[in-house]
């Protein structure tokens, strides 16, 4: 089987093309796709608990901590400790952060509009169904592998 015939290659190649497109657009406005993704997942009005952002954007806590520190240094966000429970921190967008978030939002919407205008809805429905099925199978395999690893760690 040639690599171009594998599902994972096609998904990765497509995502890399999308990622390059988003990064190219973001670079024109002095930020990155990753920053845009984080900004899109912060509630523009009420802020978002810092602990909720990582799972939304697929970042581990150390990477998220670095990203939030950079965003704060760049003046895109600010953090406030919860008055009732000091362990919780909410992340809010600054005006500059809201502007970058709007650029990211507009870029994502334009891309999706372009796709929806060029790919028939029946094909998109099938695409979404297939991607969801692949994701489910990957999660099932990962869960199975985790349980098998745990079984091998048990003493006999």
Instruction: With beta carbons less than 8 A apart as the criterion, state whether 80 and 74 touch.
Output: no
Nearest of 94, 64, 62, 96 to residue 79 by alpha carbon: 94
Do 91 and 136 sit in the same domain of this protein?
A: no
Render pLDDT for 74-122 as a digit per residue (tens, 0 to 9). Answer: 999 999 998 888 888 999 999 999 999 999 999 999 999 999 999 999 9
pLDDT confidence of residue 28: 96
pTM for this one? 0.82
Do 60 and 126 sit in the same domain of this protein?
A: no
Token code pair at residue 81: 């400790």
**Structural domain that includes position 150:** 120-156
Domains contained in the chain, number:
2
């Amino acid at each position: 089987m040639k690599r171009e015939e594998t599902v994972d290659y096609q998904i990765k190649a497509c995502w890399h093309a999308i990622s390059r497109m988003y990064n190219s657009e973001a670079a024109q406005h002095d930020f990155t796709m990753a920053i845009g993704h984080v900004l899109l997942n912060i509630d523009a009005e009420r802020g978002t608990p810092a602990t909720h952002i990582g799972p939304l954007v697929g970042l581990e806590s150390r990477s998220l901590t670095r990203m939030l520190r950079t965003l704060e240094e760049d003046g895109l966000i600010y953090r406030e400790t919860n008055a009732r429970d000091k362990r919780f921190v909410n992340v809010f967008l600054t005006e500059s952060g809201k502007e970058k978030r709007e650029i990211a939002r507009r870029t994502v919407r334009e891309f999706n509009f372009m796709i929806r205008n060029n790919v028939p809805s029946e094909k998109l429905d099938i695409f979404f169904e297939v991607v969801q099925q692949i994701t489910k199978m990957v999660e099932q395999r990962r869960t199975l592998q985790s349980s098998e690893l745990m079984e091998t760690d048990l003493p006999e």
